[in-house]
Chains A and B, each alone.
Chain A
Amino acid sequence: MSIDHSLFIKYGLQNSPNEQQIEQWTSLVDTLILSGVSKEDAGARAAKQIFPDFNTMVYASEADDIEALLAAARNRGNNQRGR
């Protein structure tokens, strides 16, 4: 998975970040880590500062996708029976 897509999913963005934003985010994360902030926290804090659409979307997890697909598979049987 590319870094822009990972950031897009992880920080709930509406648009994929561009190269400049990714660079800004990376350098801010490095600075925060050097100042003693934990990796996870540094990533989130930098994202909040750099990406204007931070946490504006919630993306489904793998499990949500599987759950929805399995439900569709079960419904297929029901729909056919209903026909």
Chain B
Amino acid sequence: MAGSLTPDEIKLLDVLVKFVVPIGTFILGFIISRFTMSKKERKDYESELLETSRELITAQGEAFQEFAAAIHHYANKDEAPDLDDFFSISTKGELYFNHIRMACDAIISNKVDEDSIRNTIFPKVKEAVEKTLPDFYSTLIEIAEKENIKYSGELRRENYESIYTVYETHT
């Protein structure tokens, strides 16, 4: 009968209960603790995400100010614009979109908090994809033609892959 154990089997069971089970529980607890966070760890992690979001948003805001100033300068310049004015718009614009791209890289690697994504970063990503990126490139081409500047820039998705990825996954 299955219920009747030999003395050796009873000894083995005894060893299992006395040593193997506590050790197993300890190892399991250790493993679980590596994959879960304590309340403090969770709080620290959330603060870290918030801090990263804040830094990204601040840097992106500064890039926006510079980009806007460059276009404004070109649009309102009394004298004829020169190459520097054109390239100022082009590089500051690139920098502006680079900051959006960095924010998207951070979103993809889960380094940004959900509220910042939803309320601040994603609206900018959506507008960049649907409006500003195409507008930026077509305007540069148009200005270059008018000012007789040789410019071969064009909007290529691969240059802004993470922006498109975040746009598609969050829409």
- The answer to whether B44 has its CB under 8 Å from any CB of chain A is no
Bound Cα distance A61, B67 (Å): 14
> Which residues of chain A are near B77, meaning CB under 8 Å?
76
Q: Size of chain B's interface in residues, with CB distance under 8 A? A: 28
Contact between B146 and A66, CB atoms less than 8 A apart: no
Give Cα distance in the complex from A40 to B136, angstroms: 32
Known contacts A67-B131, A74-B139, A77-B142; decide if A61 and B71 are in contact (CB<8 Å). Answer: no
Report whether B127 and A63 are in contact in the complex, using a CB–CB cutoff of 8 Å.
yes
Main secondary structure, interface of A, reads helix
**B115 nearest in chain A by CB position:** A39
The contact size tier of chain A is 10 to 19
- Chain B residue numbers with a CB within 8 Å of A40 are 115, 119
CB pair B115 A76 closer than 8 Å: no
Q: In whole angstroms, what is the CA distance A65 to B128 when docked?
A: 12
Complex Cα distance, B128 from A38, in Å, reads 28
Can you report 5 A-B residue pairs in the complex whose CB atoms are below 8 A from each other? A63-B131, A66-B64, A66-B68, A67-B132, A73-B75
Where the two chains meet, the residues of B that have a C-beta atom closer than 8 Å to any C-beta of A are 61, 64, 67-68, 71-72, 74-77, 80-81, 89, 115, 119, 123-124, 127-128, 131-132, 135-136, 139, 142-143, 146-147
- The list of the 7 closest CB pairs from A to B, nearest first, reads A63-B127, A77-B146, A72-B75, A69-B71, A70-B139, A73-B75, A76-B75
Known: A73-B71, A74-B142, A80-B80. 9 other contacts (CB 8 A): A1-B61, A63-B127, A63-B128, A66-B64, A66-B68, A70-B139, A74-B143, A77-B147, A81-B146
